Structure 1
């Protein structure tokens, strides 16, 4: 007499390589997290009763299509531009001027303004639109 065995196949998920994968992922994230912020030191800073701000003033120099010069919306003649910039930037340690220049003007007009800033050791930044 034949005895039948009931051979049922059970579905199994092989998880033997899953341990290796998890180990490498953990190692990867640990290494990346230490490299991302290597010099960060968390400190509780003391509080002060008064605060002091640095004197970093930003001045806007605009030139329209008619070659009219404006320093912070105040009209300035091209001949007095250097003197006006020098008087405004007198007490500032790192003077910065944002140059807003009309696109219809020539490159030579822009270079003349930038040379004025170079004479006075002023950092000139040109504003553009997107």
Structure 2
């Protein structure tokens, strides 16, 4: 008389340890991604759809397509821009500087201007035109 087994063999893969490994990998990549770009220039960007007006006194820094720099409508050479900007701001480090730069200039031209603000811990805002 043949003996029959009541339990049949089922192929099975243990996945309980896989969820732990995935959790640790997720944590690892989240931590590494936050440390990847420590040299990012932080700046507030205004929304072009909104037309916000402020009562604060702002300093205007304009750059022309010929790379001429104007600080409140007064032309300043680039090598003296940092000194003149710090003189205008004085002790009021909370005052914002509005940067108006043409869209067709290179990104490096904008970064050169923004590095002055990062170096001196100033607040820079890039002006945008309203979208239609």
Scaled to the shorter chain, the TM-score interval is 0.5 to 0.7
**Given that residues 57 and 92 in structure 1 are in contact (C-alpha distance below 8 angstroms), is that contact kept between their aligned partners in structure 2?**
no
Q: Which residue is equivalent to 1:127?
A: 127
1:26-62 Cα offsets, whole Å, 9 max, x none, are xxxxxxxxxxxxxxxxxxxxxxxxxxxxxx5310000
Distance in 2 of aligned mates of 1:118 and 1:84: 16
Q: Which residue is equivalent to 1:48?
A: none
Is 1:71 equivalent to 2:71 in the alignment?
yes
Q: Which residue is equivalent to 2:109?
A: 109
Indicate how the Cα distance of structure 1 residues 80 and 125 shifts in structure 2: closer, same or farther if over 3 A, else same: same
Is 1:100 equivalent to 2:103 in the alignment?
no
**Given that residues 114 and 124 in structure 1 are in contact (C-alpha distance below 8 angstroms), is that contact kept between their aligned partners in structure 2?**
yes
Structure 2: state its 5+ residue gaps. Answer: 1-55
Structure 1: state its 5+ residue gaps. Answer: 1-55
Q: Which residue is equivalent to 2:60?
A: 60
TM-score by length of 1: 0.55
Distance in 2 of aligned mates of 1:93 and 1:115: 16
RMSD over aligned CA atoms reads: 1.1
TM-score by length of 2: 0.54
Higher relative CO (Cα under 8 Å, sequence separation at least 6) belongs to 2
